[in-house]
Amino acid sequence: MELILSDLRIPIEKDGMDEYVKAASQQLEIDAGNIFIAKILSKSLDASSKEQFYYKISLIVTTPDNFQNKQNLPVYSEPVKANRKTTNIKGRPVIVGFGPAGMFAALELIDYGLKPLIFERGKKIEERFVDVQKFIKEREINPESNIQFGEGGAGSYSDGKLFSRRNNNSSYVNRVLKTFIKFGAPEEIGYISKPHLGMVKRNIFLQVSILLWDILRAIPLR
Ligand SMILES: Cc1cc2nc3c(=O)[nH]c(=O)nc-3n(C[C@H](O)[C@H](O)[C@H](O)COP(=O)(O)OP(=O)(O)OC[C@H]3O[C@@H](n4cnc5c(N)ncnc54)[C@H](O)[C@@H]3O)c2cc1C
């Protein structure tokens, strides 16, 4: 049986698989040798106590077949797979904007064998950087290239922390996280709370550019 154990508290200096198994075996009241950690669902820092910082960990744990779930812990079931439909669309779908939504729309459509046309009104990330700096230093805004507009979308100049609905473990969210991993993010983004993504969006941009050849820049749709 696979059970979900939520919010196990591990002192940060003891962090590691052995401690997770120990905490799980205490919660389930069975021998550590009889359980197996199938997946780390989430991991976040709990700094509410100044004396001791903890990681709050949620796990999927495999228990022996004869295990009696007396605490009525939630049983894990595989997320329902998103149905991939085939399409009869002919021609090229249009995507307006190459922020995260545009990027994932492009990857999805490419998966269907389509070749979307992408319109992005802002500049390339390197050129945007100059305009953003100019705004920060001189308070002079370029309406077409700024914090909001341009390759990578609105959050490109944030510190790169990923906000997602990771905890609900839905197949859609997992697919997004897996895509980030495929494009170079570390595996741990699958369970760390608000992880850092680094250059992943740039890698997706490059991949989509290679696949499509023609991302149309500086052509705003009004
Ligand atoms: C300053 C800031 C910091 C942020 N920090 C974080 C963070 O740390 N972590 C996090 O997870 N989220 C963060 N966010 C939120 C995140 O950026 C957004 O959730 C995300 O960008 C939304 O993606 P999107 O593709 O829907 O829209 P957007 O990212 O806004 O992308 C829309 C794109 O469309 C283009 N566009 C708009 N109009 C036209 C047009 N007429 N023609 C052609 N192109 C057009 C724009 O140039 C833009 O590139 C931050 C947002 C901001 C503003």
Copy the structure tokens of residue 31.
Answer: 């021998």
**pLDDT at 76 > cutoff 70:** yes
Domains belonging to the chain, first-starting first, are 2-62 (3.30.70), 94-217 (3.50.50.60)
CA atoms lying within 13 Å on the CB side of residue 54? 13
User: What would the pLDDT profile of 28-75 be if each residue is shown by its tens digit?
Assistant: 999 999 999 999 988 888 888 889 999 999 899 999 989 998 888 888
User: What would the pLDDT profile of 99-144 be if each residue is shown by its tens digit?
Assistant: 889 988 988 888 888 888 888 888 887 788 899 999 999 999 999 8
Ligand 1 and 120: CB distance under 6 A: yes
**In which residue are the tokens 């839905």 written?**
170
User: Which residue type does 21 have?
Assistant: V
Residue whose Cα lies nearest atom 51 of ligand 1: it is 155
- 122 backbone dihedrals φ, ψ, rounded to 5°: -85, -175
The maximal CA–CA distance of the chain, rounded, in angstroms, is 69
CB atoms within 10 A of CB 209: 15
**pLDDT at 216 > cutoff 90:** no
Residue whose Cα lies nearest atom 36 of ligand 1: it is 97
CA angle 178, 179, 185 (to 5 degrees): 80
Task: Give the neighbor-by-neighbor strand order of the sheet with 94-96.
Answer: 94-96, 117-120, 215-217
DSSP letters of 73-109?
Answer: PPBP-PPPPPPPPP----S--EEE--SHHHHHHHHHH
Residues 6+ apart with CB under 8 A from 208: 103, 106, 107, 110, 118, 215
| 3-class DSSP assignment, residue 191 | coil
> Between 195 and 79, where is the model more confident?
195
Q: Which atom of ligand 1 is nearest to the CA of 164?
A: 11
Q: How far is the CA of 71 from the centre of ligand 1 (A)?
A: 44
User: What would the pLDDT profile of 163-212 be if each residue is shown by its tens digit?
Assistant: 887 776 678 888 888 888 887 777 888 888 888 776 676 667 666 766 66
Copy the structure tokens of residue 133.
Answer: 């700096």
Question: What is residue 80's predicted lDDT score, i.e. its pLDDT?
Answer: 61
Q: How far is the CA of 140 from the centre of ligand 1 (A)?
A: 20
Alpha-carbon distances, residue 128 vs 123, 144, 150 (angstroms)? 6, 9, 7
Using 50, 70 and 90 to split pLDDT, how confident is the model at 19? very high
Q: Which atom of ligand 1 is nearest to the CA of 222?
A: 41
**In which residue are the tokens 């780390």 written?**
40
Q: What is the dihedral of CA 209, 212, 216, 221, to 10 degrees?
A: -120
